[in-house]
Amino acid sequence: MPGVYLVIVCHDDESRHKAEALAKTHFSNRFFPRTQVVVIKPDSKYFENQIWKHLENTRHEWSSYDYVGMITYNMENKVRDLTDIKKHIAGVLDGKIQGGDVITMFNIDFVIKTDTNTNKRCTLLQGAKHFHGPYFRMAWNVLLDRLGYTRDYQLEDVENRMPPFFCNYWIARPTWMLKYLEAVKQAMAIMDTDPILIEYLHKNSGYNGRLSKEKLLAMSGKPYYTMHTFILERFPSFFFTYNGAKIVRVGSTMKHTIPIS
């Protein structure tokens, strides 16, 4: 089946209406022949990462498409150039532009402002430590260890090369999506059962979102945003880079400068 099987994630009636409008306005053409709005209630510490279970259960619907992936109802508020992104994907599907195994749509490059007032490239994980604190890296290292990755030169090289993309705004060839679904299912199972990892994951991520402390307590037992969703937000970049997938970042890439620490 030619085209993209796209899931738009929302969390209540209001956001569902926005998702439906987004689908109608931007993703209802031959390049996006199947756009599905999925409501995921904000009742889990994994937030929109609950979508992976949905995609696993519906694999028979999308396995024959060129690409499959997700965005959220508020994509227009996050990306700067949705029209250019759609044109690029259309060019790939028409064979006019070289595609990739994975196409990402919300991309940020980080640089460190050094004490000599020069910019130095900042890796995805260095950026994560800046935003979420040292427990992020501790949780990350434990998760990769439990998944069977050996901390060696190859792993460090992959971590240094991981392209920063966020919000799970990406699509992949179905064969790669199937591989990722198996990997993220295993990762989430470990995140829910490993005692050391659980301790690190339940630390404060430092993210200041819109949910109340009461709502967050109901979701994770903590009155703040935990590390869970931020670990999984970066897991696709690691998985696809480590396994040699061709990642193509489309649209403009935002720049974010991190002060030297």
For 111-122, the pLDDT digits (tens) are 987 766 677 889
> Which residue from 234, 181, 218 is spatially nearest to 68, judged by alpha carbons?
181
Q: What is the pLDDT of residue 261?
A: 58
Element containing residue 189 per DSSP (H, E): helix 174-193
The answer to whether the beta carbons of residues 73 and 26 sit under 8 Å apart is no
How far apart CA 171 and CA 72 sit, in angstroms, is 13
How far apart CA 132 and CA 209 sit, in angstroms, is 13
Q: What is the pLDDT of residue 118?
A: 72
Q: What is the pairing mode between strands 4-10 and 67-72?
A: parallel
The answer to whether the beta carbons of residues 251 and 88 sit under 8 Å apart is yes
Q: What is the pLDDT of residue 48?
A: 94
Domain count for the chain: 1
How far apart CA 133 and CA 204 sit, in angstroms, is 8
Q: In the chain, which stretches have pLDDT less than 50?
A: none
How many of the other CB atoms lie within 10 Å of CB of 148? 7
How far apart CA 160 and CA 126 sit, in angstroms, is 9
The answer to whether the beta carbons of residues 6 and 32 sit under 8 Å apart is yes
Domain containing residue 76: 4-259
Q: What does the pLDDT look like over 167-186, one tens digit per residue? A: 999 999 999 999 999 999 99
The answer to whether the beta carbons of residues 57 and 147 sit under 8 Å apart is no
- Does residue 201 come out as left (phi exceeding 0), alpha (psi in the -120 to 50 range) or beta? alpha
The answer to whether the beta carbons of residues 107 and 251 sit under 8 Å apart is yes
DSSP structure class, residue 257: E
